[in-house]
Amino acid sequence: MEQKSIAGSCLCGAVRFEIKPPLAGFRYCHCSRCRKATGAAHAANIFVPQSQLTWLAGEALVRRFDLPGAKRFAVCFCTQCGTRMPHKIATTENYLVPAGCLDASPEERPDGSIFWGSRAQWYVETQALPKHEEYK
Ligand SMILES: [Zn+2]
Ligand SMILES: [Zn+2]
């Protein structure tokens, strides 16, 4: 059965888009650039062909930053709330979609962690951590 489109949005809700499965890739990236860009231990990056992404609202609010000197590293973000938004990858026909901005779950699961050797020294695999339902 064909999977339904998956909506995505930023924190303030001004920017909305949807992607159509199947995904071209889904992985965690531990590189130092992704850590900076997300503020997190690793990015959760989904890849979909350009033809499978549709902007629904607020595209004009999205600003792009191409990292000087990088072949393809870029980030797009909502200028109202700073949330990372999808961006077209310079060297491929794919968009990179930050998985955390999706409003529903795709059927696919991440198939790997890349730049593992670059991971933050403080990174602890989450299986090793006690789990709490809310703030602690
Ligand atoms: Zn926003
Ligand atoms: Zn990365």
Which pLDDT tens digit goes with each residue over 10-43? Answer: 999 999 999 999 999 999 999 999 999 999 999 9
- For residue 1, what pLDDT is reported? 60
CATH number at residue 43: 2.170.150.70
Distance 98 CA to ligand 1 centre (A): 14
> Does 65 fall in a domain?
yes
Q: Are 87 and 75 in contact (CB under 8 A)?
A: yes
Q: Establish if 126 belongs to a structural domain.
A: no
Q: Which ligand is nearest to the CA of 8?
A: 1
Structural domain for 28, as ranges: 6-119
Mean pLDDT, all residues of the chain: 96
In this structure, is residue 128 part of a structural domain?
no
Which ligand number lies closest to the CA of residue 101? 1
Instruction: Indicate whether 135 belongs to any domain.
Output: no
For residue 9, count CB atoms less than 10 angstroms from its CB and return exposed for 0-12, middle for 13-18, buried for 19 or more.
buried
Is 1 within the bounds of a domain? no
**pTM (2 d.p.):** 0.94
> In the chain, how many domains are there?
1
